[in-house]
Amino acid sequence: MDTIHITMPDGAVREVPLGTTAAEIAQQISPRLAKEALVARVAPIHSLGGGTAAAAAAVAAGTSPDAAPEARLSSASNGEGFLVDLRAPIDQDVKLSILTPKDPEAIQVLRHSAAHLLAAAVLELFPNVKLGIGPPIDTGFFYDFVRDEPFTPDDLARIEKKMRELAAQDIPNERKMLPKPEALELYRKWGQGFKCELVEERAIEPMVSFYTTGKFIDFCRGPHIPSTGRIRAFKLMSVAGAYWKGQEGNPQMQRIYGACFYTQQELDEYLHRLEEAKRRDHRRLGPELDLFSVQEEAGPGLIFWHPKGGLVRKIMEDWLREELLKRGYDLVYTPHIMRLELWKTSGHAGFYRENMFGPIEVEKDDYQLKPMNCPGHILIYKSRLRSYRELPVRLAELGTVYRYERSGVLHGLLRVRGFTQDDAHIFCMPEQIESEIEACIDFAFAVMKTFGFSDYVVELSDWDANHPENYAGSAADWARSTAALQTTLTRLKIPFKRMEGEAAFYGPKIDVKLIDAIGRPWQLTTVQFDFNLPARFGLEYVGEDGARHQPLMVHRALWGSVERFFGILIEHYAGAFPVWLAPVQAEVLPLSEKFLEYGKKVTAALKEAGFRAHLDDRNEKLQAKIRDAQMLKIPYMLVVGGKEAEAGTVSVREHSKGDLGPRPLAQFLSDLRQQVDSRAI
Ligand SMILES: [Zn+2]
Ligand SMILES: [Zn+2]
């Protein structure tokens, strides 16, 4: 009998009969592994081979067709091999790994099988649907269908129930190979025109791969998990419109989305995170807390800051301006509109054109709404000859810019068409870059600490050294600046990820992403070298040697923009800002009209001490007043009645902690003072 050699990940070699399956090998290793296994990875050791495993390998390696999104599954056909069904016979010497739910790729196979399960369930309930494609996605799967009536929430519930039934039956997912004409005939008879189209277009070999799940049959390269019984933790989430092949003008399909994880606990955690994200969504909280709005009448992507949002912004900006001055920056202001010619000099009119609003003609001259602050700061730098003694020059501006973003990508405060960057440009000498970079990083960390973030991810983007022709600046510029970024991060003991080839053409950069209260990363600070603009604008300084030199230029933004950072703060705090940032710090709640006078006195005392206080003088029950203040996420509620008026106290309720009991007014004022001054989080 012919035998083959199977090399396991630990290097052990097993000699088994030709045609043995990964499932059988798993069983030999341990029944537990056999139970856990979802799929296998094989890498042929000799390239020559024939028969079904080689065919399976060829299929999985991408030489056979399937719907494009499903191809991702087997795209790992590199030196690591490719994924195959556990029950695929192996007929050559291979390296074999048996993948369990611990492997992210195996989970994607599980999700793909869940998509098939969805289609099988839909076909049972709605036999006349036309099938599109059904790939896995990051948190689950989808399948596209054409059906005259829209799927309702009730339909989704029925489909999910049917999926559970089919899963409980533990139906095998079986692979079949059909000759192409037979495959086409099968789909034609069944009336599945979209599938015919896929087979026509993508089946380039005579034999076509199919998977069956009970009565359901799908043109699919696989692989799949052995049977439906392993699909336990899933939930149908929504129906969305989609075009066949994603192209507008093609038939409209209904895309059913499902979430799918290996364990119920993982699914529950995911659903909880979704709920949390919804609860924190700044687009909902903005109007609810009366912080900002976007007005259709004015146009999409343009932000209106309401009084309360405006107040938070003022506090944010006050902190920032004070820090800028302390840290040796100069504050500047530049026009919102400047000659188009300037943007030609900077190069933006070329490489940045798609993100700019169109030019505006004034007295036969074209003007441009600014998409960036850099050229403005450069003109200030250039306004006179600079000496090395003045360097570094650090010009900072809360600079409002306008960028054209397609309406489809606009998103609350995070993707907008007009926003204010906390921008700065540093012009310095080569020997100053390390200390300047260190100061930028220190500033970025001060921002995170002050505004209540402790977790972050840092990335250092470098050029692709094999293609210097694609970049501005010399190899020496790149080497020196990248080294400055790297040694600074290392010296400050800040862990970072190096992103080779990810830098913009004009210079290397450091990006800081902060992690919010529910673990989501947000791009925030950028510190970016620029070898392009100083040359384009002919920037100079007179060195100690009396000769003219070109300064180095660094762009840096800490928040990114005021709008974006405000959006992140709203979501991080779920609208309940720390007391130093809150637009209203204390709401005074008289127990009844009888105590209005004392309420007024307390409110006046708070305002006198410089706090943002508001008196709820409505003729409402206390419970209603507390509920409303709670809804507005005001940090402190001060209840005042007869006892308080007599003793000169206030009964304090804190937004998240509830009732804290009575306290002398003077003591509350001094406690509040301490919290605000220390910017307690
Ligand atoms: Zn499939
Ligand atoms: Zn800039």
Q: 504 forms bridges with which residues in the sheet? A: 507
Active site residues: 374, 403, 421, 423, 425, 509, 555
Ligand nearest to the CA of 372: 2
675 exposure class (CB count in 10 Å sphere: 0-12, 13-18, 19+): middle
Q: Is the pLDDT of residue 62 over 60?
A: no
Among 176, 184, 16, which residue's Cα sits nearest to residue 96?
Answer: 16
Contact 184, 195 (CB under 8 A): no
Distance (angstroms) between ligand 1 centre and the Cα of 218 equals: 6
Residue 514, by phi and psi: left (phi above 0), alpha (psi -120 to 50) or beta? beta
pLDDT at residue number 400 = 97
471-506: pLDDT as tens digits = 998 899 899 999 999 999 999 999 999 999 999 999
**What is the average per-residue pLDDT within 561-576?**
96
Indicate the average pLDDT of the chain: 92
Query: What does the pLDDT average to over 424-434?
Result: 95
Ligand 1 centroid distance, CA of 187 (Å)? 15
Q: How many A from CA of 530 to the centre of ligand 2?
A: 9
In this prediction, residues 158-179 reach a mean pLDDT of: 95
Q: Which ligand is nearest to the CA of 120?
A: 1
Task: Name the residue type at position 140.
Answer: G
In 155-170, which positions are buried (b, 16+ CB within 10 angstroms) versus exposed (e)?
bbebbbebbbebbeee
pLDDT at position 60 is: 43
Tens digits of residue pLDDT in 604-654: 999 999 999 999 999 999 999 999 999 999 999 999 999 999 999 999 999
Is the pLDDT at 561 greater than 60? The verdict is yes
pLDDT confidence band for 91 (50 / 70 / 90): confident
Rounded Cα–Cα distance for residues 303 and 312 (Å)? 15
Separation of alpha carbons 174 and 212, rounded Å: 5
Q: Which position has the higher pLDDT, 76 or 384?
A: 384
Of 411, 400, 445, whose CA–CA distance to 567 is shortest?
411
Ligand nearest to the CA of 371: 2
- Per-residue pLDDT tens for 275-300? 999 999 999 999 999 999 999 999 99
pTM higher than 0.75 for the full model? Answer: yes
Centroid of ligand 1 to alpha carbon of 119 (angstroms): 10
Instruction: Write the DSSP assignment of 610-657 as a string of letters.
Output: T--EEE--SS--HHHHHHHHHHTT-SEEEEE-HHHHHHTEEEEEETTT
Indicate the pLDDT class of residue 64, thresholds 50, 70 and 90: very low
Question: What is the distance in A from the centroid of ligand 1 to the CA of 243?
Answer: 19
Neighbouring residues of the ion ligand 1, judged by CB less than 5 Å:
220
Give residue 518's pLDDT: 85
pLDDT of residue 1: 64
